[in-house]
Amino acid sequence: MEVALADTGGAIGAGQAQTAAIRIDGLVKRYGPFVAIDHLSLEIPRGQFFVIVGPSGCGKTTLLRILAGLDKPSEGRIETIAPAAGRPGNSMVFQGDSIFPWMNVWDNAAYGLRMRGAPKAEIAEVVGHYLDRTGLRRFAKSYPHQLSGGMRQRVSIARAFANDPEILLMDEPFSALDAQNKLLLQEELLRIWEEHRKTVVFITHSVDEAVILGDRIMVMTAQPGRIKNFVDVTLPRPRDVLELQRSPVYAELVHTIWSSLRDEVNRAKRQAEGEG
Ligand SMILES: Nc1ncnc2c1ncn2[C@@H]1O[C@H](COP(=O)(O)OP(=O)(O)OP(=O)(O)O)[C@@H](O)[C@H]1O
Ligand SMILES: [Mg+2]
């Protein structure tokens, strides 16, 4: 579901567009006495594919919701780049089904553009383009219940890209899919993203997926969520997923991230068992 960005603290001016799309400074998020996010500061340059990994409950979704303007920080400051006139600040792709069951594929994909009153010809061109790119053109008149889970996720992605936001926020969009569909959608996402190189913030539990897609990966600690470390993915683009997985650099990166994540996942597990 697309959500227009509420002003969460300030907009980064166009003059600074080269530098940052998102700037987070000293972000704290509490729910009562519970600290979900603890003093997180970071900057995401425009056009970067930024990936967040971290154990369950470390605050990833909370961070994305704050970036989308759906939730407010308890402390700290968030700045996001001001979108060009007539374009939304962000679009969010949620985990699982987030398309409207009562709209067909075409209308779902066109939703954001229609909401902001884009001209008919533009809608036809843009929606047609992204339905082609996601292999959904033939299903334009189908309703979500007539589609597979993978196809419904494709509709979400087509809709988010068609909406043409400044920043794309994606919360584990592929986690419910089987391995084959996941691979196909990762390849599609890479191809679509490489057309325009939008700023993306992408959450995943899969270290492989993080390396396949990302420019930079942030590993978060178990609750309270802090930055553990960053890993830069220097693999060249365009990327071919199967080729990539055979490269020694890929294996090394996956190993590095897992080494960093393992302690946090164990810590989260102990917390869940009431020993942490
Ligand atoms: N509205 C809320 N009220 C109280 N606590 C909340 C609320 N939203 C989230 N939390 C808590 O904040 C912590 C972080 O939640 P969040 O959903 O951000 O985790 P996550 O990293 O996305 O986990 P997962 O990987 O399982 O999706 C959790 O312990 C959760 O219970
Ligand atoms: Mg989550």
pLDDT in tens, 165-214: 999 999 999 988 888 888 988 999 999 999 989 999 999 999 999 999 99
Q: Decide if 136 contacts 158 (C-beta within 8 A).
A: yes
> Among 56, 28, 63, which residue's Cα sits nearest to residue 273?
56
Ligand 1 centroid to residue 59 C-alpha, Å: 5
Q: Decide if 181 contacts 149 (C-beta within 8 A).
A: yes
Nearest ligand (C-alpha, residue 268) = 1
Q: Has residue 108 got a pLDDT over 90?
A: yes
Per-residue buried b or exposed e for 165-176, using 16+ beta carbons within 10 Å of the residue's own CB:
bbbbbbbbbbee
The predicted-structure confidence for 185-197, as pLDDT tens digits, reads as follows 899 999 999 998 9
Paired tokens of 70: 């759906």
Domains with residue ranges and CATH for the chain:
11-97+166-272 (3.40.50.300)
pTM for this prediction? 0.92
Total residue length of the chain: 276
Q: Which of 27, 29, 31 to mutate to test the pocket of ligand 1 (most atoms within 8 A of CB)?
A: 31
